[in-house]
Each structure stands twice: as C-alpha cells, then as structure tokens.
C-alpha cells in the first residue's frame, strides 16, 4: 500500500483559495467578518506549523516526562479555553468545579484508553498518546463549555421557578434538577449526533487521516470506533461531574439561591 501523498508548498497554498472565496462571500453578503476570518486563518496556520515542529522533536525523542508534560499542557489550554468561551457569570467556585471536572473526567478515561484499549509499549509513545489526549480532552472541553453555558443560562432564567420550589420545601438538588438535566442534555447532544451520522454522512478526521496514510479501512474503523467510545465516555463523565457539582455553587449554606 502506498503511503500518504506529500503536498508541495504550492499545493498547500492553493487550498487557501477557499478562504479567499469565504471572505468574498461575507463581503458580498455584507457581514463584517473579513478581519476575523483572516486572523483565524493566520493563527491556525502558525499554531499548526509550530505544533508540527514540536511534535516532530517529541516523536524523535521519546520520553515519559515530555509526554506527560504535553498531556498536562493540553489539559491546561483546554481549561483556559473553557474559561474564555464561558465568561459571563463564571464565578471562582464554578471555575474550580470546571477544573476538577475536566481533570477527573478526562484523565481517568485517558489512562484506561492508553493502558487497556491501546496497550502499546512503551505506553508513553507520543505517536499514540498525544493525538488521543487531544481528541479526548477536546471532546470534553466542548461538552463542558456547552454544559456551563446552558447551566448559567438556566439558573438565571429559571430563578423564579427554583425559588418557588425551594419555598415549597424542595432541596437545592430537586429545585435545580430541570436545569441540570437540560445542561447535561445540551452538552452531550453534539457527541450523540456525530455518532449517529458517522460512516454514512461523514468520515471522521482520524479515520480519514489513517486511510490517506495507507492504513487498511478495517484497521482505521477499529481505531475510530474505539476513539468515539472513549470520546463519548469522557465527555459524559466530565459533564456529569460538572453539572452535579456546578449547580451547588449557586446556593449558599442555607440552601438559598445566591
């Protein structure tokens, strides 16, 4: 089987025609997004080039310390990204809940995946650990961002109903249950939708990359199924921890809304 076709610089440059088309379309429609699109494209390009050089060095110098450092770095950036996405109403205590949920909800499934599902030796091989870490943490990051946004919005808009339930004798857990359920549902729905359409509507990035590199479609599918199961489990666990701990930050010790 042939390996992946290497793109020449001019071929990669030709792909930027799609960004030019996008900028032309938003200008034609009258949406002032040209600057944002240009900055986003430049940032993406620079970040990916830098990451490529870093990963090339790490792949050539396999070391458990550097691999663990990259895992922690990915987790840190993911948490900071959640803070950036969910700004309005994000209290200090809720930030602590996000950190706890992200760390516990991602590293548990991640270690299980590395040592049990993949079981590659050495376990710290960055060729396997780094992309798997990025996918699992990235999925949890998206889920918890949606969950946090929905929880904050729900606790604000449903404040009257929650206070009414508390006055009737409900506990904070009972009063906030509808909002918690809504936040969890909103957070995991994208993962469920991606699983439903996978294979028939879309070919996932990991599977596509492996096929393009010459891996058998059957082997690529095995990896993709395992990854999707890991993503869904990690995202669900992370969001569940967040909503179950997060709603408590809206109440004081006397079971009253802050």
| pLDDT for the residue numbered 97 | 94
Q: What is the arithmetic mean of pLDDT over 57-76? A: 90
Q: Considering its fold, how many domains does the chain have in total?
A: 2
Task: State yes or no: pLDDT of 76 exceeds 90.
Answer: yes
Are residue 43 and residue 151 in the same domain, yes or no? no
- Give the model's confidence band at 3: pLDDT under 50 very low, under 70 low, under 90 confident, else very high: low
Distance CA 247, CA 184 (A): 12
10 Å Cβ neighbour count for 1? 6
| pLDDT for the residue numbered 5 | 67
Are residue 168 and residue 185 in the same domain, yes or no? yes
Are residue 184 and residue 216 in the same domain, yes or no? yes
Q: What is the arithmetic mean of pLDDT over 140-154? A: 91
Q: Of 61, 78, 95, which residue is a domain's last?
A: 61
Q: Is residue 170, in this structure, part of any structural domain at all? A: yes
Higher pLDDT, 146 or 199: 146
Are residue 69 and residue 57 in the same domain, yes or no? no
- 234: Cα within 13 Å, side-chain hemisphere: 28
Are residue 214 and residue 105 in the same domain, yes or no? yes
Are residue 86 and residue 151 in the same domain, yes or no? yes
Distance CA 143, CA 185 (A): 10
Task: Round the average pLDDT of the chain to a whole number and report it.
Answer: 86
Range of the domain at 51: 1-61
Task: State yes or no: pLDDT of 2 exceeds 60.
Answer: no
Are residue 164 and residue 238 in the same domain, yes or no? yes
Q: Is residue 255, in this structure, part of any structural domain at all? A: no
Are residue 40 and residue 79 in the same domain, yes or no? no
| pLDDT for the residue numbered 1 | 45
**CA-wise closest residue to 127 among 72, 66, 184, 83:** 66
| pLDDT for the residue numbered 219 | 79
Lowest mean pLDDT among 68-77, 135-144, 204-213, 233-242: 204-213
- pLDDT tens, residue by residue, 150-176: 999 998 888 889 888 888 888 888 999
CA torsion 140-141-146-147 (nearest 10°) is: 60
- pLDDT tens, residue by residue, 90-132: 888 999 999 999 999 999 889 988 899 888 888 889 888 888 8
Q: Is residue 224, in this structure, part of any structural domain at all? A: yes
Lowest mean pLDDT among 84-88, 104-108, 211-215: 211-215
Q: Is residue 215, in this structure, part of any structural domain at all? A: yes
Lowest mean pLDDT among 24-38, 56-70, 85-99, 204-218: 204-218
Are residue 53 and residue 80 in the same domain, yes or no? no
| pLDDT for the residue numbered 206 | 66
Are residue 125 and residue 31 in the same domain, yes or no? no
Q: Of 61, 78, 106, which residue is a domain's last?
A: 61
Task: State yes or no: pLDDT of 245 exceeds 90.
Answer: yes
Are residue 115 and residue 214 in the same domain, yes or no? yes
Tokens read off for 141: 């990051």
Are residue 116 and residue 29 in the same domain, yes or no? no
């Amino acid at each position: 089987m042939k390996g992946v076709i290497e793109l020449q610089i001019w071929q990669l440059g030709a792909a930027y025609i799609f960004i030019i088309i996008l900028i032309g379309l938003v200008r034609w429609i009258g949406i002032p997004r040209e600057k944002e699109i240009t900055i986003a494209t430049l940032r993406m390009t620079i970040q990916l080039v830098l990451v490529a050089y870093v990963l090339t060095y790490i792949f050539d110098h396999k070391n458990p310390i550097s691999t663990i450092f990259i895992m922690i770095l990915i987790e840190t950036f993911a948490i900071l990204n959640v803070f950036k996405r969910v700004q309005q109403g994000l209290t200090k205590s809720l930030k602590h809940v996000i950190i706890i949920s992200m760390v516990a909800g991602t590293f548990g499934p991640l270690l299980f995946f590395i040592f049990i599902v993949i079981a590659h030796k050495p376990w710290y091989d960055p060729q396997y650990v780094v992309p798997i870490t990025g996918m699992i943490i990235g999925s949890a990051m998206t889920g918890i961002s949606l969950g946090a946004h929905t929880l904050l919005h729900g606790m604000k808009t449903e404040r009257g109903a929650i206070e009414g339930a508390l006055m009737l004798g409900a506990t904070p857990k009972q009063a906030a249950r509808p909002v918690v359920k809504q936040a969890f549902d909103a957070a995991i729905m994208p993962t469920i939708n991606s699983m439903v359409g996978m294979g028939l509507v879309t070919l996932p990035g990991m599977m596509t990359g492996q096929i393009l590199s010459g891996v058998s479609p059957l082997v690529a599918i095995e990896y993709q199924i395992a990854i999707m199961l890991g993503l869904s489990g990690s995202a669900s666990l992370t969001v569940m921890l967040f909503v179950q701990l997060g709603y408590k930050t809206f109440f004081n010790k006397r079971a009253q809304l802050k």
